[in-house]
Structure formats: C-alpha cells, structure tokens
Chain A
Amino acid sequence: MDNNSGNPAKLNTVGIRLNACGKTFPDGTRALEPVQLEINPGETVVLLGPSGCGKTTMLRIIAGLEQPDAGGQVFFGEQDVTPLPIEQRHVGMVFQSYALFPNMSVAENIAYGLKVRGMAEVEKKQRVVEMLSMMHLESFAERRIDQLSGGQRQRVALARALAVRPRVLLLDEPLTALDAKLRESLRAEIDRLLRSLKITAVYVTHDQSEAMALGDRIAVMEKGRIAQIGSPREIYYRPATRFVADFIGSMNRVQGMVDGESLQLPSGLLRVGPRVSNEVLFRPEDVRIVSNGEAQLQAKIVSAFFLGDHTRLILDVGNEQTITAETVDRREFKPGDIVPIAVDSEAILFLE
C-alpha cells in the first residue's frame, strides 16, 4: 500500500495498456473488437461514442469487472493485471448511479476502502477529513446518503474512489444523471481534480462537450472499434472518418462539379484548393458572411434562428443542398434573402 505522506496529490499513478482486448458475450454479440490502447501515466483519456459502441465494456475490462476474450491483456504500468479481479487492481471507480452505500454515512462511505484495507483508525480518520475538505463536503460528513443532492452524491463518490489513492481513476458517465447546470459545475470540479492530482484517468461519456473539456485525448468509438484517437483539436479539426466528423460537432457536406481548384455549384464557385474532390465537408462556424467582392457563393436563406450569442442560418446553395452556417453577425437575417458567403480552403475537409 502507498502510505506516502499526508498529501492527497501524491499518487503512485501508472499508465494503462490494452493488448488485443476484445469482448464477446455468451450470447455471441461482439461488444468490443480486439483493441489496442496505450494511456500514459497521468493522462486523461475519454472514451466517447453512442450507446452500444463498446466504451463501457472497455472501461469494465480495464477495471477488472469484465474479462477480455482469450488473448487480451491489460497492463497497469509493467504489471499484467489481466488475471486480477477488480478488488486486487487498486483502482478508483465512479459510477453513473453513484453507487454509494445507503447503509453508511458520507464519512463511512469515504472510509470504506480504507477500512477493508485495514488502515489504522487515526490515519483513516485523517484521510477522510482530507478527502472531505478536498471535495468541499466537510459539513456533510455525518449525513446519510438519502439526505444528499445528486451533485453532492457524486462528489462523495469521487472522494470515496480517491481516498484509497488508486493507481488509476475510472469514471463511467459520472455526470449523466445530473441536470445541465450541475453537470457543468461538477465537470469543472472533476477537471480541477484530474489536473491537480495528475492521476491516470479513463472517462466514459456520450457527451462530446464533456469529452472535449476533460480529455487530454479522446478515443471516439464506433461499433466496438476505436474510430479515431487524438487530442480534442485533432478530433475536431481533422476527423479521420465520416462517423467522427458527424459525431463531434456538426458538419456540412456539399457535392458539386470539380472545376480547376474549385467546386462548381449553382450558387457560385467554392474554392477548395489544390486537392479537389466532388464532395467536401466543413464546419458551420467556418462559413463566413462576406462582402459581395469576396463572395464565393450567393446562398439563399431558408431559415434563420437567432440564438442570442450567435445566429444559425440554414442556407440553400443550389442543387437541393442546404448547409448550416453560424455567425456572430448582429444583422437581422430573413428567410428568402441572398447572402454572399465564403469558406476558407484550410477549413475544408475531404473524407471518403
């Protein structure tokens, strides 16, 4: 056990390596194709994808709650933990449903991992106090679980998971059960924790904004496979597949006739640069409303939604193709108007 000093920030955190970890359930469904994944010590990797993409299965294999199919291996640092059950892997885990023990108080919940490890009473008390203050829960120590709000419960769950100073922290959709406002503030709190503790963390979510905010790297998953793994910027600006492009943010897709370095559309010529294809993709925020001189396309407004901080326009670019554009322009846009638009060629993507 790592009883080093009284500083909660000192953790013996390790990297995680998955080697050909697949998962086939007894009924024959393939939840996870054999997957390769390397997570560096101290790094936060977010597993992002729609439900049923295998992200939770991967987390449970890392945790030791599921065994990978034969041949799969899980390493914590240099140690092969594949044969170890979860209780011997020394992980911290946070669940969507909090999973706090209703028969114990807040303090008892936090102390539970220390109790089963047989930690001395004095040290245990001290550690609980430490965790309570780290999560701003001092005044709740003696409360029962059913006297806490959802946000407080998840903070207790985090404190409980971190109290044992785990080697890695695993979070399974920890914010999904909370309402939007609380989600944001707890997200900031989790971010602060992960940065200050420098603990290796795997975070499962289906919410892209959570993934972008928390992940050092994001692994976008689709049908049991990792479709792409990379920093939030890489994932957003250079999506590797159409699935990734569509899942993260929104994406416009335009088809036309190739004309030199441009794409010919009934509304004008879209400059796409030396590499051309008859289909290009670009983000709504990369559509600029310009002066007539700079215009590449003359698009007709189909509908306009004023959303306060920006206006979302649905534009007709001809051939029954519509695109979405987002602008901070304060003008009042009316359906039927023609707006001159341009898209920078650096913002244009080509995907098969």
Chain B
Amino acid sequence: MKRSLRFYLQLAFTVVVCAFLVVPVVLSIMAGVTENFFVGIKSGLTFRWVVEVWTLYNKTIFLSIGIALATLAVTLLIGIPAAYVLARRQNRYTRWIEELIVLPVAVPGLATALALILLYGQFSGFRISWTFILVGHVLFTLPFMVRSVLAVMSAIDLKTLEDAAASLGASFTQRFFHVILPNCRQGILAGALMVVTLSMGEFNITWMLHTPLTMTLPVGLADSYASMRLEIGSAYTIVFFIMIIPLLVAMQWMSEPAKVKPRFLS
C-alpha cells in the first residue's frame, strides 16, 4: 500500500519525539549494566553494579516499600471516610474542604516539608523516625485518594442505595461494608495504585525530611549519583524502574473504561 508523504512526516516526527523521551532512559539502563561507562559497551556487560546497589541500598528499598504501604493504609483510613462525607454532604463548607485538601499538591514539596520541620522539629524522636516521612507522604497523596474515591461516589446514586439498604434493615456498619465499599471498589483501587506510585517516587518532601538512617529509594538514588560511580547510580535507576513500572502499567490498565464482561450467559 502506498502511503502519502504526510504519513511519513508524521511517522518521523513521532519517532523523534519517542527517541527524545526514551533514549536517556535506555542510556541510563545501559550505563547500569556496563563494566565501565566511559570505555563503553566494549568494556563488557555486568550485573555487578546492580548487586552492589542491592548490598549498599537495599534498606532504602525496603523502607520505601514500607512507607508506601503505610501511606496507603493511612490514606485508605482517612480518605474513604472523608470522600464519603464530602459526597453525602454537598454544601459550601464541604466544597471548601474539597479544594483545601488539594493544596499540598499545589504547594512546592520543599515548602510543605519546611513547615513540617518548623512545627515538629523539636520532637526529636519523631523527627528522626520514618513516621515523620510518612506524615509528609500522607499530606501529599491524600488528595489523590479522596478525589479518586469521590469521583466514583458522585457517579453512583449513593444516597438512594444507602436508603434501600437501610430499608432492608442494614445498620450503618453493614451498609458501609456491604454496599458503599464494594460499589466504590474501582475508585479505591485506582486511588490506591496512585498513592503507592506517588509515595515510592516522592523526592521533594522526602529529601527535606529524611535523615541518613531514613533514606528512601529516590533519596538514595540522588545520594548514589552524588557520591558513587555513575554506573552504580544507573544500576539504581534500573532497580527503581523494576519497582515502579508494574505500578504504572497497573494504573493505566485500571483507568481504561471497564469492559462489560459477559457472565452467566443464558
């Protein structure tokens, strides 16, 4: 099939843009598995650097996973009830709260972190523990959880569903777990993936809040680029990719419009 010149121009443009985005990533990954980056590929390929990163920085990886899961737990516990109240009580005040909740996303992370240090700095036990970083992460990710759950709650007629469950004799707790939660599953899942991904990758706030003993993965990455061989920093990037890409793919997959799965064909 003969294609027009226009097609080839568009194709070329797309390829150039993709290359612009992808080449640095590929280069970085290559650097992580090259014996000596300055000599180049001909120096040979190795997993030595990845292993070294693991021995030097595995603590940061586990801490990041731990903080991400803790952040998820806290945002679920606060975010779902908050979204529920915002969805059920639509008035001037709840709309204000809805807007206020998004502020930590708009304010630079450094400013948020500085405010936290000013406020809690003197509680040294808290200041040096990982829970201090947890607070920063919760502030930053909570709006994403609330928004995601709220969007689903506003799309279904939650009030009437609840009235119906109540008319059948369900107490508030039963309504919450049998009707509200299951019908907001999509929003909760999407919000949860978002929160975990953001927490894993968060740098600004964490960099300000961390101590040498509470280094997370992205902070460790910055540290390795600053103080180690380039190959180690690059190998660290590979580790980061391996952890974050499945989350991103899952998120993309989640955000696709739900396909109607034909069950119970009769």
Contact = CB atoms under 8 A, between A and B. Distances in A.
B161 interface: yes
Given A113-B170, A143-B266, 13 more contacts: A65-B166, A95-B160, A99-B161, A99-B163, A100-B164, A101-B179, A101-B182, A102-B156, A102-B183, A116-B178, A139-B266, A147-B264, A164-B168
B169 A101 contact: no
A14 B171 CA distance: 23
Interface string A274-294: 000000000000000000000
Interface string B173-213: 01000110011010000000000000000000000000000
Given A91-B167, A161-B167, A99 B174 contact: no
Interface of A: 63, 65, 85-88, 90-93, 95, 97, 99-103, 112-113, 116-117, 139, 142-144, 146-147, 157, 160-161, 164, 170
Say what secondary structure dominates the interface of chain B. Answer: helix
Nearest to A108: B178
Contacts of A161: 167-168
A144 B179 contact: no
Contact of A86 (B167, B178, B183): B167
A103 B164 CA distance: 14
Contacts of A144: 263-264
Contacts of B244: none
A327 to B, nearest CB: 46
B163 A95 contact: yes
Given A97-B157, A99-B157, A142 B264 contact: yes
Contacts of A103: 179, 182-183, 185
Contacts of B161: 99, 101
Interface of B: 156-157, 160-161, 163-171, 174, 178-179, 182-183, 185, 260, 263-264, 266
B169 A87 contact: yes
B164 A99 contact: yes
A144 B183 CA distance: 13
B260 A146 contact: yes
B167 A63 contact: yes
B167 A101 contact: no
A309 B222 CA distance: 86
B88 to A, nearest CB: 14
16 contacts: A87-B169, A87-B170, A87-B171, A90-B169, A91-B167, A99-B160, A99-B161, A99-B164, A101-B178, A101-B183, A102-B156, A112-B165, A113-B168, A113-B170, A139-B266, A144-B263
A116 B164 contact: no
Contacts of A65: 163, 166-167
A103 B67 CA distance: 32
B160 A112 contact: no
A93 B183 contact: no
Given A97-B160, A103-B183, A112 B178 contact: yes
Contacts of B185: 103
A93 B167 contact: yes
A101 B166 CA distance: 12
Contacts of A157: 164
Contacts of B156: 102
Contacts of B178: 101, 112, 116
A258 B266 CA distance: 72
